[in-house]
Amino acid sequence: MNKAVMQYDTVALDETIPALVIIDQTKLPGKVEFLSLTGLEDIREAVYLLKVRGAPAIGVAAAFGIYIVADKFKTENYEEFYAQFKTAKEKLASARPTAVNLFWALDRMEKLVLDHRGEKTAVLKKLLKEEALRIRNEDVDACRKIGEYGLSLIKNGDGILTHCNAGQLATVKYGTALAPFHLGREKGRYFRVFTGETRPLLQGARLSAFELSADGIDTTVICDNTASLVMKKGWIQAVFVGCDRLAANGDACNKIGTSGIAILANYYKIPFYVCAPTSTLDMNIPSGDSIVIEERPPGEVTEMWYKEPMAPEGVRVYNPAFDVTGNSLITAIVTEYGIVRQPYSRSLAELSSRLK
């Protein structure tokens, strides 16, 4: 089943029910379980509890989710339909605060409803379904292109360090930061991928290692605090990470621990690449200082993976889900439109203008 799981989309739409179909990532790697979700609360909970996670996958899940919820609206009145849509949208948007794809996808679905003001609700439901599927297809296409561009930055036999999971499990297919390795394997290329465990939720050890090894890619899990040593040994020729929100100046918000790896890569003169679909680009955020960082429950640090709590009862816990890597530490940003380099304020502005 481990090998077969790579043949499935991480996020899918069952059009017959309709339902959001996801792989429950909280059960990996021990169990591959698919969930079929039809209710607003269940879909929101899946996002909040990280059953579906990764910025692109969250965006696609939100698009499918809001369509599925809207498809159940009984009213034939446009204003009532939109009022219910707005309430559902706000509920889904509250699931997580940092990854911009969640809001980007929901805003795009809302714009469609507003652009078709006065239409019959049956037409709106059909249009929402088509838009959600379009967002899904765009994600697959963007990830494959990111993989192709990323592949051009590395040589056969290179050792690459990655952090968290920015692979197929974080998107519909291929992934972002792991896409070059999946595509490289298809082309007969060989890489040695080192994945940091990524405390406290272990997305590297549980998820990246799972999908990479399932795809037949040479994979080694390391403790997060081993990154400096493997770099010093000369085992790492490049670092590839994903991105949950990219600021206008090129500051990149990603899973907690990413900025420390970037500092180490800079010290050891190792290129540090951020793989970011343009759906994560937020030109309304001038720098990473403006990004709201999600804080997660203390129990994820003190007891989640232990038979007994591993910290004194009542001790304070600081558990941010993300940190921000300053643009000066980023060698290049890999997007579906090409590889973007310094100065990022100019190159990202030019890229953004192409998207309008």
Strand 34-37 and strand 19-23: the pairing is: antiparallel
CB 337 within 8 A of CB 351: yes
- Above 70 in pLDDT, residue 2? no
Q: What is the pLDDT of residue 186?
A: 92
pLDDT-above-70 percentage for the chain: 99
Kindly report the pTM of this predicted structure: 0.93
Give, rounded to a whole angstrom, the gap between the first and last alpha carbons of the chain.
Answer: 42
Q: Give the separation between CA 217 and CA 128, rounded to whole angstroms.
A: 38
pLDDT 10s digits, 236-290:
999 999 999 999 999 999 999 999 999 999 999 999 999 999 999 999 999 999 9
* Domains contained in the chain, CATH given: 4-143 (1.20.120.420), 150-355 (3.40.50.10470)
Q: Could you give the angle at which helices 55-70 and 100-115 cross, rounded to 10 degrees?
A: 30
pLDDT 10s digits, 85-112:
999 999 999 999 887 899 999 999 999 9
Q: Which neighbouring-strand residues pair with 193? A: 160, 219
User: Is 244 a residue of the active site?
Assistant: yes
pLDDT-above-90 percentage for the chain: 96
Give the angle subtended at the CA of 259 by the CAs of 138 and 10, to the nearest 5°: 30
Q: What is the pLDDT of residue 207?
A: 96
Q: What is the pLDDT of residue 3?
A: 63
Q: Choosing from 9, 215, 244, 282, which is the catalytic residue?
A: 244
pLDDT averaged over every residue in the chain: 96
Q: What is the pLDDT of residue 335?
A: 98
Q: Give the separation between CA 41 and CA 196, rounded to whole angstroms.
A: 33
